Chains A and B, each alone.
Chain A
Amino acid sequence: MDLLYNIVIDPFVQMAQAPDLLAQTLWEGLVAGMLYALIALGFVLIFKASGVFNFAQGIMVVFAALTLVGLHDAGVPAFLALGLAILVMFVLAFTVERVVLRPLVNQPDIILFMATFGITYFLIGLGELVFGGDPKVMVTADLYLPKGAITYHALGGIVQLQKLDIAAAIIASLMVAGLAVFFSKTRIGRALRAVADSHSAALSVGISLEQIWVIVWFAAGLVALVTGIFWGARSDVSFALEVIALKALPVLILGGFTSIPGAIVGGLIIGIGEKLAEFYWGPLVGGGTDAWFAYVIALVFLLFRPQGLFGERIIERI
């Protein structure tokens, strides 16, 4: 009976008694969720355009951030380093298309998936070789990212919002809005959507698949860079980020593999759910639940709605 009380009632009593803590937890969850959503966004971009499940997205985040920090540490001015990092992401996209995607066109999904593993290994090795394996501190001040926190005395307590997180939220929303406009209004965006619909139909109306793939991998690289900057600013830039990047997978399940709004909503749900579960229910099982909570949510969700919140209905024919 005590156990049942602890699981079903006590957490809600705690929430009601300390609304400031609840608000703080929700905000933390929201910020974490936003970062998951950004990684998931990179996945969705590539999956939509090339049907490749890009496992390397997580390592691209680390690699982009590492390039920026590494160049800055070597004495390059911050904004020049940012520009160079963008250039590196473009070179990466170009190389991946040339060396990996083009020879593997028309192979089964799992082969392409494994090829992105190869990219992951290569980038881990390259990143550590060039920039060293030890954690680095992200450049924030030189990029004019705000520091410190805004403190509200509300809800019978104190709620602290980091200015950096607010900046991250604003820039992320701007980026998503920009991508949405790019996809719906521009010529290249329309070509991207055509490719997502059907490769062969897109080819037959004269859209170059190779170009589209470079563009889409570059876009995913840019998203990775932005994610890497904000994630790196919250913790250190290190290869430990890679495991956290796997959290984007349950986000994809929740949102559906092909939906950009799905990636965002899914990310926020996972982020908030994970923080709430860890804060209120975690102590009951000894903590550390955030290692698996997201995956279990995704698992349960899959049983009821396999195509995700916004995904297209899966139809199978013989």
Chain B
Amino acid sequence: MFYREAGQFKTSYASDQAIFPIVQDRIGIAVILFVAFVVIPATGNDFLINAMMIPFMIFSLAAIGLNLLTGYTGLLSLGTGAFMGVGAYACYKLTTIFPGVNIIVWVVASGFFAAAVGVVFGLPSLRIKGFYLAIATLAAQFFLEWCFIRIAWLYNYNISGAIEVPQRELFGIIVTGPRATAETRYYIVLAIVVAMTWFASNLVHGRIGRMWMAVRDMDIAAELMGIRLLPTKLLAFAVSSFYCGVAGALMVFLWYGGAEASVFNINQSFTILFMIIIGGLGSLLGSFLGAALIFILPILLRFVPEWMGLHMHAATVEHVTFMTVGVLIIFFLIVEPAGLARLWQIGKQKLRVWPFPY
């Protein structure tokens, strides 16, 4: 009743191929964008924006990147953290070598460096897949992490071995460095994430996305249908690494403000992988839902003992949080293996037929 396509006629190819063909979807996305662009900056405090929304957006972007590779093309990757690192270090080098250029240009450009590295480590994907490929991407993870530590040129020979974000301005407003306000950084992250999500959505709904999905469902059959496997898989690696690279650059420049190589370690890769599995493989919406759940859940869990009036040691809370996250992962997998995105599908169907059961 609330969500009904009946009566919404598509009279042109353009309307048939729209990303949101249904009025209710368009209203929904408009409300979400309104909340994100107007309500949250207007009402939210620094904690909400700085510690929740900015990281949530950045993790969503990285999750979209991995989802394009793992969810849409079916290539399991455990090297996400390293590809994010390539983006961050590339952005740092570029902005220190050419300080005059707009920082946003370099954030986006650093994605291309990550894409190039991703293509190199994606080469084995033609011959191997599944867990074998996952281990091949582990090689990328550990090798690149080693490079971030050992190649001093990458962090400009800092004694600390860390990269520190210099202050950069955009049209007279400070956007990076310690003096940038949370709102400014939030708007930039939000704008980039929205634009790149829109691009990804077009990508997966078009010819390229269908090629990826054909390869995922059965690569031999896809090859027989005339899809060239190597370019398709490498393109998936390139686009995925591009997204991860931009996410990594955003993470260091607009959230952390500085980072060591250990930020991009294997646990980061696993975290992003959790997000897309819990959120839903092969779903852009799922990337956002998964990022929200996996990132925000541990933060909320830490507050639970206090709400319940229990006074526990900080370390104990940490351990219990770990256990709870583990249990919840298993619980979600058992209850809904297809991810949170599937729950939304079910909910939509319920809205469609309400108040009737079917």
Contact = CB atoms under 8 A, between A and B. Distances in A.
A122 B274 contact: no
Contact of B330 (A109, A119, A128): A119
A118 interface: yes
A113 B337 CA distance: 12
Contact of A109 (B130, B142, B318, B333): B130
Contact of A121 (B136, B273, B281, B325): B325
B305 to A, nearest CB: 13
Given A110-B76, A118-B330, A133-B315, A318 B220 contact: yes
A129 B173 CA distance: 47
Contacts, number: 133
A291 B142 CA distance: 6
Contacts of B330: 99-100, 115, 118-119, 122
A108 B277 CA distance: 12
Interface stretch (B83-91, B103-111, B145-153, B202-210): B145-153
Interface residues of A, number: 49
A302 B134 CA distance: 12
Contacts of A129: 316, 319-320, 323
Interface in B316-351: 316, 318-330, 333-334, 337
Contact of A118 (B124, B127, B135, B326): B326
Interface in A98-136: 99-100, 103-104, 107-111, 113-115, 117-126, 128-129, 133
A132 to B, nearest CB: 9
A291 B145 contact: yes
Contacts of B337: 104, 107-108, 111
B143 interface: yes
B157 interface: no
A243 interface: yes
Interface of A: 53, 99-100, 103-104, 107-111, 113-115, 117-126, 128-129, 133, 243, 246, 249-250, 252-253, 257, 285-289, 291-292, 295-296, 298-299, 302-303, 306, 316, 318
Q: Which 5 A-B pairs have the closest CB atoms?
A: A125-B322, A121-B326, A122-B326, A125-B323, A295-B139
